Amino acid sequence: MVERIFIDSNAFFKRKEKFMEIISKGHSLVINNIVVYEVIKVLDELISESNDKKAKLYKMLKERFPKLLKDLDIEIKCTNLDNERLLMCYEIMKNKNVDIGDAIIYLFMVDNKIQKILSYDDDWRKFDIEIIR
């Protein structure tokens, strides 16, 4: 059965095998604007902090990222926030002791009825979703 799986930012940097497995099963993959922001932020920081050789590789990753998303048919969706929903994020942050990024992603997953996330972040254990790793 084809499922929709949310891909957390850390999954783009860790464990090729799990990504391969999900792709082999033909699942449809989804991210939101928070993930795009986090991946680019990590790469930008690494580019500025690394020596020439590594910086070149990080630049290569940054340039290739949009193509990777396209090649993998990863759906990029935007999380819409209004004041009411922002307050819901605050509730999630408070109740689950997570950061704003995770709260927005969780809200996004609930809105889009996505039950699974590919992530290596233990914070997701606090939520009623299935973690793939």
Reduced DSSP (H G I as helix, E B as strand, rest coil) percent helix, strand, coil of the chain, to 5: 60, 15, 25
Return the C-alpha torsion angle 123, 45, 74, 28, nearest 10.
Answer: -20
Listed in sequence order, the DSSP H helices in 25-82 are 33-49, 52-71
Contact between 100 and other proteins by CB under 8 A: the answer reads no
Residue 116 neighbours by CB under 8 Å, 6+ apart: 3, 4, 5, 6, 129, 130, 131, 132
Contact between 94 and other proteins by CB under 8 A: the answer reads no
Q: Which of 3, 4, 10, 86 binds other proteins (CB under 8 A)?
A: 10
Only one of the segments 40-48, 76-84, 88-96, 108-116 lies at the binding site for other proteins (rule: CB under 8 A); that segment is: 40-48
**Residue 1 Cα to chain centre, angstroms:** 22
d(CA 91, CA 77): 23
Site string for other proteins, 48-77 (x = CB under 8 A): ------x--xx-xx--x--xx--xxx----
Shortest distance, CB of residue 23 to other proteins, whole angstroms?
Answer: 5
Q: Which of 3, 4, 36, 46 binds other proteins (CB under 8 A)?
A: 46
Residue ranges in contact with other proteins by CB under 8 A: 9-10, 12-16, 19-20, 23-24, 26, 38, 41-42, 44-46, 54, 57-58, 60-61, 64, 67-68, 71-73, 99, 120-122
